[in-house]
């Protein structure tokens, strides 16, 4: 069975770590560290309006005068949100990560964001899927299968 974003979210849990757009970058980093995540979803009036990631910090910290204790997320977050449908297969998700050069992907269902996946979540699932596929192939083409095939061929 090919796993989808829905399956990955179910295994991982669909919880998204969120913070208000009025929060400072420092506050966002504190929440991210406490939750051991590499991104945080930014909300206004309970609506998702952006995302802040480790990568955003990396680029912003080099800017002259940037202070994480005073910089507001609303002025520094990424607003061009990239998402995938909950029914997309893991390999399609992985394609989006590679093609868009991103590390976090919002998952949507019916026009609503229901979770977020990291490239690590999808890579883990893709590797598990490949392992399962290989095990299935090994069962199909076992030594017993080969021995039976040799016997059938010798009877011809």
Domains for the chain: give ranges and CATH numbers. Answer: 5-154 (3.10.580.10)
Q: What's residue 143's pLDDT?
A: 64
Its pTM stands at 0.80
The phi, psi pair for 105, rounded to 5°, reads: -140, 120
Return the minimum-mean-pLDDT range out of 7-11, 64-68, 119-123, 127-131. Answer: 127-131
Grade residue 45 by pLDDT with cuts at 50, 70 and 90.
Answer: very high
Supply the pLDDT for residue 155: 76
Mean pLDDT of 104-118: 94
Pairing assessment for the beta strands 47-53 and 83-85 based on DSSP bridges: unpaired
- Work out the average pLDDT over 12-19: 87
Mean local confidence (pLDDT), 132-137: 80
Please report which residue ranges of the chain form alpha helices under DSSP H: 5-12, 25-35, 54-60, 73-76, 90-100, 119-140, 143-154
Contact 96, 82 (CB under 8 A): yes
Q: Give residue 146's pLDDT band: very low, low, confident or very high (50, 70, 90).
A: low
């Amino acid at each position: 069975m090919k796993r989808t974003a829905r399956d990955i979210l179910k295994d991982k849990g669909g919880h998204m770590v969120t913070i208000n757009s009025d929060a400072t970058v420092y506050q966002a980093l504190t929440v991210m560290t406490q939750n051991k995540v590499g991104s945080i979803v930014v909300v206004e009036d309970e609506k998702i309006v952006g995302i802040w990631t480790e990568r955003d910090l990396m680029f912003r910290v080099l800017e002259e005068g940037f202070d994480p204790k005073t910089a507001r997320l609303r002025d520094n977050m990424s607003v061009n949100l990239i998402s995938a449908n909950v029914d997309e297969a893991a390999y399609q998700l992985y394609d989006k990560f590679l093609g868009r050069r991103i590390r976090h992907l919002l998952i949507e269902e019916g026009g609503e964001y229901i979770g977020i996946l990291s490239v690590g979540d999808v890579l883990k699932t893709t590797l598990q899927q490949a392992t399962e596929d290989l095990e299935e192939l090994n069962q199909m083409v076992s030594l017993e299968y080969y021995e039976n095939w040799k016997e059938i061929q010798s009877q011809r």
